[in-house]
Structure 1
Amino acid sequence: MKTTRPILAKSAQRGNSPLTLLNHTQQVKAAAEAIAAQLGYDVRLAGLGAALHDLGKAHPHFQAKIYGEELPLHEQFPHRHELSSLGFLPLFDRADWPALVDMVVAHHKSIRQDARERGILDLQRQGGPWIANHLLNWEDWSGDGLAVLAALQVPVTLRKVTLQEAEAALRYAVEHCRAQLRSPEWSAWRGVLMAADHFASALQHDTDKQLAGLFDKPNLAFFQNRAGDALYPLSQTSAADERPHTLVVAPTGAGKTDYLFRRCRGRVFYTLPFQASINAMFERVRQADTGGHVRLRHAMSKLVEGRTGRDVAEKLLQDKVGASVKILTPHQLAAVAFGLPGYEAVLLDVRGCDVILDEIHTYSDKAQAMVLAIVDVLVLANCRLHVGTATMPTALYDEVRRRLGGPEAVYEVRLSDEVLDEFNRHEVHKIARDQKRPEALATTVDALLRQAFTDNEKVLIICNTVVGAQAEFERLTQSFPAVKAMLLHSRFRRLDRADLEKKLTAEFDGQPGPCFVVSTQVVEVSLDISFDRMITEAAPLDALVQRFGRVNRRRSPETIGQLKPVHVIEPDRKTLPYNREVVLRSYAQLPDAALLPERDLQRCLDAVYPDLALANINTHLIWDNGELIEGALTNRCRSVLVEALEIETAACILADDRAEYVAEKTFWERRIELEIPISWRTIQFNKNRQHYERLDFGAAPFVVPQPLADYRRLGLQLLEPDSFL
């Protein structure tokens, strides 16, 4: 019997009232039409797809679930509401069916090889009465779908669709999807609907007012107006070349960021490798008053933006289409190369935009291969790519230029040797190890620090591993208890990490010494901090040059020509996480008690990296010479990216935070704040992993029984607690 209760699309969430199917469809329709209009697609067709996409939620199976009711045993079958929606296809012009099916059939699931085997072709292959199930009691509930179409005033002739017509429509969808598996083209229509659905689902009743200006170009006058400053030589270099792409090689402090923005003509995607550098760039762009939406994208971006006073709607928009400027990591663009869920929406969003790839040489061989694969797709999507780097081996430079189209398509910018000489600012000192007396290293380091603190210096100490940084911080705070000190690495709770980054710039960089900061590689790129001295473990030369860029960074007429010391410790027997041969070659290129000339860096880099060594990730890519390998309407699961890149995918929480993390009233943002991101390999090879409880919701974090006092001092320690003994 037909019920009179509201037909819902979404249950109550985060204090909001339940959302009716009509309200939700209205919001998605508005978003789809606005997105299609901005991106040059048929607005009428986008609106029809949005009107159709969720009508299957009127199915009694979906409504029982959303109302929290127990289903009869004979109705406990896999139900995909979007497949039920296809029963209404006969109401629409037959010529529109291909685009409508693209929009509806896969806006949640791949059409095949879905992780739970619930794509339309998965269900078809499995056999069974899946069509009958998705149209169960059609005569009773299809009228609710018609009522939604009537309220939306969709320009179709509303009539009762027979069960036989609905069944035929689903069979048409199956054949259409089979044909799409052979298509070399990606489905832009799937992207339009996914983008609109995600946008409206996040904002709900605020959708309409957030659509205004969604795809506006930024006002980059701030960067244009800074041209001509003699302190920053790139500001005196013309950015007016008509070639679409850019390759800029220049030292830290030469004005690369401003120059890259000056090369942009449209909406901007600015990519950086590390979270800390992304946060800093976000603040920099906001201060530039570019207008329009400015978005921040990484795992904890909502937390960072939440501390800036941005409103809730702005935070909800961060991973949605649109925005004048987006600051993100290349991993947020990886979907377009790997075919991850939603890649079509990402392609629609970035197509034709300016994409800045900053410091791409800093990635591992696998991540670097991913970035180059992204470059290939973005070139196909008519993006203008602007690559900036302080240190890039010639082999990698040549490969990037080739993929961008060669000299005919790439504007190449380098500084002259005479200008590079003005950026000489580091005197390198090597610190030898005594393998017979390892304690001698600590004695040498302490002597350097003692003199530095006497001279009121700020010192940055960089270790290659978190464990090493923790041990050195403990040792140094005992040796110098009266000196202001800080430890910074990746294994802090996300809420603490954001505060540490602010503290680094405000209390250590922003105030006079003496002080010291012990860190890992997280400070290497784009953090605008300037210390007086550095002591660092040996690392690959490009990483070392980035580290050196945190010393004597600020340029002024008085500082040009001044040299500050950087001390590099001789490589130990183990050089994790780096390749030992690369570290040894890098250390050999360094002078001792002498200037490291900027004009010599390219020669040194090429000696360390004579060849381009990229990991082979071809089996994970969905493109071959610009054509889809697996066809349209499909996607890979996210685990593919994890397997290919070994990026941070696991999370830990402290035992002291467990109760709050699992509490029903705890919002997901708070859970993210409590999480400590680590690489899966780190936890996978930890001998105590079996002792850590793993929660089965949220990010499925491992619970580490580390005392809170120890954590506050050192960050997460994956060591063996006494309770394991």
Structure 2
Amino acid sequence: MDQVRAAAEARGFLPLGTPACDFEQTFGVEPYPFQTAAAEDDLGQVALIEAETGSGKTEAALWRWLALRRRGLVDGLFFALPTRSAAVQLHQRVNTMLNQVWGNAAPEAVLAVPGYLRAGDATGQALPGFEVRWDRGEPGGAPDARWAAERSLNFLAARVAVGTIDQALLGIVPAKHALFRAGVLSRSLLVVDEVHASDSYMSGLLERLLDHHVAVGGHALLLSATLGSSARARLLRTEPPALAEAEAQPYPALSGRGAALRSAIGATREGKRVQVETAGVIRDPDAIAARAIDAARAGASVLVVRNSVSGAVAVAQAVAERAPDLVFQVAGVPTLHHGRFAPSDRKRLDKAVETAFGKACVRRGQVLVGTQTLEQSLDIDADYLVTDLAPMDVLLQRIGRLHRHARSDRGVFAQARVLVLRLSERDLSPLLGRAGGERHGLGSVYRNLVQLEATLRLLEETPEIVIPRDSRRLVERALHPEALDRIAREGAVGWLNHANERAGGDHAEAESAKQVALDLSQPFRTLVFRDVEEAVLTRLGARDLLVDTSPPLASPFEGEITRVAIPGHMLGTLSERDVPEMIDAHSFRLGTRSFGYDQWGLHRLG
């Protein structure tokens, strides 16, 4: 027993008390009423906070965790986010909170992102033989929970961890060690940020995970700025309301399984007014760059969010050519932010974004171009947003990057502004039946054209929106099944056919999730596990292929690149059996295809 206790203590499994502290001591600010209300015990095992971006949902989640710990209902915390960039940025905020509450005895927050090797403020270095040297510890880990940061298998066993939603979903799919992951997660408060961001497949997996988590006594908290009533009903196991009732529901709001929806009083200081404009230049990167540059020259911090990597690269290159003094840079090199950079470069990009567009930024008048990696959970503060058309919930997330913090130096951009890019001909019907045919995500990345049509109509009718006053109405009128059915039936027969096809596709994805997800209420001997890559199970679609480059590629931002991930859609017939052949310091050949890597990220050659 002494050995068991010693091992448990070294891994952070022994009980850890929660010191007495108030909200202001913990976070350095006075709480909004909704933040303290979110910690009450009447929201059930699955609670939900709906509030606008930047309103303090993260602090409310952490305060609820502390309250549940004091009541003995949870021990650990796993904060699940939609992207790696968001997890990296939130990790430090969580670690700061732990130090405020526990002081020198604080547990270290593990960054549950493969390849980062970070626990608290310590960074690990991978050694041969699966050992890890910590910058404040011995090889193999220090006598604390840093071991949980060394392997993705151990992430969920950390006392406190911040990672992506995939890590949590691995506890409910038939991958190796799923039962271990689900078991150690059961002692933690599972916080899932941006729950609206999942597709039907991932939403189905999340619903099954929540059901299991609750069944074994676990607690979960869901966070969203733009959750539609239909999605809320599925997550909380309630009946979906009709459109009129859904529009009338309060926002911001608190609810939970077994807890009625109620207003979240004080989730914002005042309404944020946003000027809305649409322009038919989505196919013209030079015109988009010109609009962004004009705003930056007027002193604005400009954020350009595109639906595709190729679209983002085209605009970033146009900005760099026309205004090299205004374009976002890393180590003096013009670049942008998307998911096709190597992990080491992503760290540099994330840090540079936070410096240039975070709360403490001092320089105004810059242009940052990126993709969906910029729209979720990142603490970005911009004055002017240029964005491709997307479904309303996604657009509101992007708009949430505007005026996130109180500043006195916005000049002529004292009111937030957004330019939404659409097709020059305005009519979306030519895209019907052309899934994947557009390079701008219309009908491909965002496949439901009825949602896009509903969103565009609302934007054209509403030259100024006020958040949070208009949030509920905009989301429901653009996403609610009744509203979408009305638009589909008003148009030509192609619209109704498309709506039916999308409904069928969403149903098929949800059914796929049911077929894949483990039913952990069944006897163990009836469960079937698969010896396949984990990424295949948590997200639909082709998985990335990890390629080790030897000799290394040269990073455009200094240093070397030893591993890159090739997106599934770029692979063609390539497989793990193909060995990379280096062409030069910036390119390599894999099978019959060649790839380049530079300041714009990974791309195909030829």
Q: Distance in 2 between matches of 1:677 and 1:218?
A: 41
Of 460, 474, 479, the match for 1:604: 474
Q: Distance in 2 between matches of 1:682 and 1:411?
A: 46
- C-alpha offsets along residues 317-373 of structure 1, whole Å, 9 cap, x if unaligned? 224263321112221122332132112211221224211111111112211222112
* Aligned CA distance change for structure 1 residues 407 and 462 (closer, same or farther; 3 Å): closer
* Aligned CA distance change for structure 1 residues 386 and 481 (closer, same or farther; 3 Å): same
What does residue 116 of structure 1 align with? Answer: none
Q: Distance in 2 between matches of 1:718 and 1:518?
A: 20
Aligned 8 A contact 2:293 2:319 in 1: no
Could you say which structure has the larger radius of gyration? 1
What does residue 139 of structure 1 align with? Answer: none
What does residue 602 of structure 2 align with? Answer: 716
What does residue 64 of structure 2 align with? Answer: 263
What does residue 464 of structure 1 align with? Answer: 307
Report which structure shows greater RCO (CA 8 Å, sep ≥6). Answer: 2
Q: Distance in 1 between matches of 2:24 and 2:232?
A: 27
Of 517, 522, 539, the match for 1:627: 522
* Aligned CA distance change for structure 1 residues 648 and 692 (closer, same or farther; 3 Å): same
* Aligned CA distance change for structure 1 residues 231 and 558 (closer, same or farther; 3 Å): farther
Superposed, 1:232-631 pairs within 5 Å as: 232=32, 234-235=34-35, 237=37, 239-242=39-42, 243-264=44-65, 265=68, 266=74, 267-288=76-97, 289=99, 291-302=106-117, 306=123, 309=135, 311=137, 313=141, 315-318=146-149, 319=152, 320=154, 322-402=157-237, 409-410=258-259, 412=261, 414-415=263-264, 422-433=270-281, 439=284, 442-443=286-287, 445-485=288-328, 486-509=335-358, 510-555=361-406, 563-571=415-423, 573=431, 574=438, 575=442, 576-579=444-447, 580-591=449-460, 593-611=463-481, 613=506, 615=509, 616=511, 617-623=513-519, 626-628=521-523, 631=526
* Aligned CA distance change for structure 1 residues 353 and 411 (closer, same or farther; 3 Å): farther
Look up the SS of the partner of 2:87 in the other structure. helix
Q: Distance in 2 between matches of 1:239 and 1:357?
A: 16
Look up the SS of the partner of 1:470 in the other structure. helix
Aligned-residue Cα RMSD (Å) equals 3.8
Q: Distance in 2 between matches of 1:694 and 1:409?
A: 54
Superposed, 1:216-235 pairs within 5 Å as: 216=16, 221=21, 223=23, 225=25, 232=32, 234-235=34-35
Aligned 8 A contact 2:38 2:64 in 1: no
Aligned residues: percent identity? 18
Aligned 8 A contact 1:231 1:557 in 2: no
TM-score by length of 1: 0.60
* Aligned CA distance change for structure 1 residues 230 and 263 (closer, same or farther; 3 Å): closer
Q: In the alignment, residue 479 of structure 1 is paired with which amino acid?
A: R
* Aligned CA distance change for structure 1 residues 375 and 684 (closer, same or farther; 3 Å): farther
* Aligned CA distance change for structure 1 residues 403 and 270 (closer, same or farther; 3 Å): farther
Q: Distance in 2 between matches of 1:504 and 1:297?
A: 21
- How many Å apart are 1:376 and its aligned residue? 1.4
Q: Distance in 2 between matches of 1:552 and 1:231?
A: 20
Aligned 8 A contact 1:336 1:377 in 2: no
Look up the SS of the partner of 2:278 in the other structure. strand
Aligned 8 A contact 1:249 1:391 in 2: yes
Q: Distance in 2 between matches of 1:675 and 1:375?
A: 34
Q: Distance in 1 between matches of 2:381 and 2:519?
A: 43
Look up the SS of the partner of 1:336 in the other structure. coil
* Aligned CA distance change for structure 1 residues 397 and 556 (closer, same or farther; 3 Å): farther
Q: In the alignment, residue 349 of structure 2 is paired with which amino acid?
A: L
Q: Distance in 2 between matches of 1:605 and 1:380?
A: 32
Superposed, 1:76-87 pairs within 5 Å as: none
Q: Distance in 1 between matches of 2:193 and 2:309?
A: 25
**Alignment partner of 1:659 is 2:508:** no
Q: Distance in 2 between matches of 1:499 and 1:258?
A: 26
Q: In the alignment, residue 55 of structure 2 is paired with which amino acid?
A: A
Which has a greater percent of helix?
Answer: 1
- How many Å apart are 1:382 and its aligned residue? 1.0
Which has a greater percent of strand?
Answer: 2
**Alignment partner of 1:636 is 2:530:** yes
Look up the SS of the partner of 1:717 in the other structure. strand
Please list every run of 5 or more consecutive structure 2 residues that lacks an aligned counterpart in the other structure.
69-73, 125-133, 240-254, 329-334, 425-430, 432-437, 482-502, 554-558, 582-588
Q: Distance in 2 between matches of 1:407 and 1:433?
A: 43
- How many Å apart are 1:244 and its aligned residue? 3.2
**Alignment partner of 1:649 is 2:535:** no
Q: Distance in 2 between matches of 1:643 and 1:344?
A: 15
Q: In the alignment, residue 606 of structure 1 is paired with which amino acid?
A: E
* Aligned CA distance change for structure 1 residues 347 and 224 (closer, same or farther; 3 Å): farther
* Aligned CA distance change for structure 1 residues 352 and 462 (closer, same or farther; 3 Å): same
- C-alpha offsets along residues 37-57 of structure 1, whole Å, 9 cap, x if unaligned? xxxxxxxxxxxxxxxxxxxxx
- How many Å apart are 1:677 and its aligned residue? 2.6
Q: In the alignment, residue 681 of structure 1 is paired with which amino acid?
A: H
Q: Distance in 2 between matches of 1:639 and 1:541?
A: 33
Please list every run of 5 or more consecutive structure 1 residues that lacks an aligned counterpart in the other structure.
1-28, 36-206, 662-669, 721-725
TM-score by length of 2: 0.71
- How many Å apart are 1:419 and its aligned residue? 6.4
Q: In the alignment, residue 331 of structure 1 is paired with which amino acid?
A: D
- C-alpha offsets along residues 655-682 of structure 1, whole Å, 9 cap, x if unaligned? xx42249xxxxxxxx99x6322343234
Q: Distance in 2 between matches of 1:484 and 1:299?
A: 30
Q: Distance in 2 between matches of 1:693 and 1:595?
A: 52
Q: In the alignment, residue 475 of structure 1 is paired with which amino acid?
A: A
